[in-house]
Chain A
Amino acid sequence: EVQLVESGGDLVQPGGSLRLSCAASGFTFSNYWMHWVRQAPGKGLVWVSRVSSDGSGTNYADSVKDRFTISRDNAKNTLYLQMNSLGAEDTAVYYCARSRADIARSMDVWGQGTTVTVSS
């Protein structure tokens, strides 16, 4: 079964750091670009970042640039999101998603999400 499972979400104080993980299974992880997408409580979906299949290329939303770092370990089939200098505006459910070049670069597989709460 193709699956993505996020972990690492937690309650963190403003200014703190957190690392999210996304474990992939059921497919050849190293063949796919991967994304992080977040959703603040009661709000819509917001794209956060993406990484190329080999990890050499990354992109970020302006709102997280210079604070968040996306990376991957293809040997461990795991995607990461290192989040620093967290603020209340980063409170959200964070989803990892697989992107497929052959279907218009859409996100065809999503994890269940992990919750990050930034509060003192």
Chain B
Amino acid sequence: DIQMTQSPSSLSASVGDRVTFTCRASQSISTYLNWYQQKPGKAPKLLIYAASSLQSGVPSRFSGSGSGTDFTLTISSLQPEDFATYYCQQSYSTPRTFGQGTKVEIK
């Protein structure tokens, strides 16, 4: 199974900050890497697919990069509605696996 490791597990930031967090796969997954946002009590929402493609309707302040084993998600200017938990997920092979999540909290 492919293990996905996210860092950090949590971070505190202010509105307007640029934040970046990372996801590392235990083996190469090409660009089969997706990012989801989840708010408390809600279902996950797809933000980025194929490592760097923005899902329709997602604000352009979100961006993704990477290939192989190392990936990043960047929020260029944090907005109040962005405080949530973010998960990476590989779709290269089965079983599909998620990272443990990065929780973005208000500083």
B30, chain A: closest CB distance, angstroms = 9
Find out whether the CB atom of B34 lies under 8 angstroms from the CB atom of A45.
no
Find out whether the CB atom of A45 lies under 8 angstroms from the CB atom of B46.
no
Q: State whether the Cβ of B12 lies closer than 8 Å to any Cβ in chain A.
A: no
**Which secondary structure dominates where chain A touches chain B?**
strand
B52, chain A: closest CB distance, angstroms = 10
Contact with B along A49-91 (1 / 0, CB 8 A): 0100000000111100000000000000000000000000000
Find out whether the CB atom of A50 lies under 8 angstroms from the CB atom of B96.
yes
A39, chain B: closest CB distance, angstroms = 8
Contact with B along A92-120 (1 / 0, CB 8 A): 00010101000111111011110000000
Binding site for B on A (CB under 8 A): 35, 37, 44-47, 50, 59-62, 95, 97, 99, 103-108, 110-113
**Given contacts A103-B50, A104-B49, could you give 6 more A-B pairs where the C-beta distance is less than 8 Å?**
A59-B95, A95-B44, A103-B49, A106-B34, A108-B46, A110-B43
Binding site for A on B (CB under 8 A): 31-34, 36, 38, 42-46, 49-51, 53, 55, 87, 89, 91, 94-101
